[in-house]
Amino acid sequence: MDHVVTLAQENKWKQFYCREEQLTKLMDRVEFPYTGEEKSFPEGMVAITSCEALVARLGSVIVSSKQGSGRRLFVVPTIHIIVAYTSQLVPELKDAMQLIKSKYGDQIPSMIASLTGPSRTADIEKTLVTPAHGPRDIFVFLIDDAA
């Protein structure tokens, strides 16, 4: 959390959103300000979540609806901080899906998404817009949990 605090101070971020109990406990320990209220996500809101897996080949973060943050949190905030563990780092997408199957068994999440950088679209008068939706910036903090 010390590195997250430093990043927040360097970027002068003021509003943070987190609903995952494991992360909010860490944030409470260092008195890091956040909200879990889902009423609105103002511009500049920073989301802090965990992930299901990190896919090395794609440079992607795999998230799901079963993480405790819901679905909106992966699309609405413009800045997203991911807290992940080395045991979640896998080479291929198929390995990430296997991690999810192992974790949830027959209760596979209803939404599984891959975050691989800002979205892009040229649908509006053939002008490239980025990000079209979802986070503009993604920061991943990798914690070594190897035994």
The enclosing domain of 66 has a CATH number of: 3.40.50.10420
* 26: pLDDT strictly greater than 90: no
78 assigned to some structural domain: yes
- 122 domain-assigned: no
Higher pLDDT, 142 or 37: 142
How would residue 120 be classed by pLDDT, with cut points 50, 70 and 90?
low
Q: Is 36 left (phi over 0), alpha (psi -120 to 50) or beta?
A: alpha
The residue type of 62 is I
Q: Which pLDDT band holds residue 99 (cuts at 50, 70, 90)?
A: very high
Task: For residue 101, give its domain range.
Answer: 2-115+131-143
The answer to whether residue 127 scores a pLDDT higher than 70 is: no
pLDDT, mean of residues 30-59: 83
Total domains in the fold of the chain: 1
Q: Which residues of 106-133 are buried (b: 16+ CB within 10 A; e: fewer)?
A: eeebeebbebeebeeeeeeeeeeeeeee
Range with the poorest average pLDDT among 30-34, 83-87, 133-137: 133-137
pLDDT at 108 over 70: yes
Query: Which pLDDT score is estimated for 54?
Result: 97
Residue 125 located in a structural domain: no
The token pair at 122 is: 């040229």
* Tens-digit pLDDT profile for residues 50-61: 999 999 998 999
| Cβ-based neighbours of 8, under 8 Å, separated by 6 or more | 16, 32, 46
Report pTM. 0.81
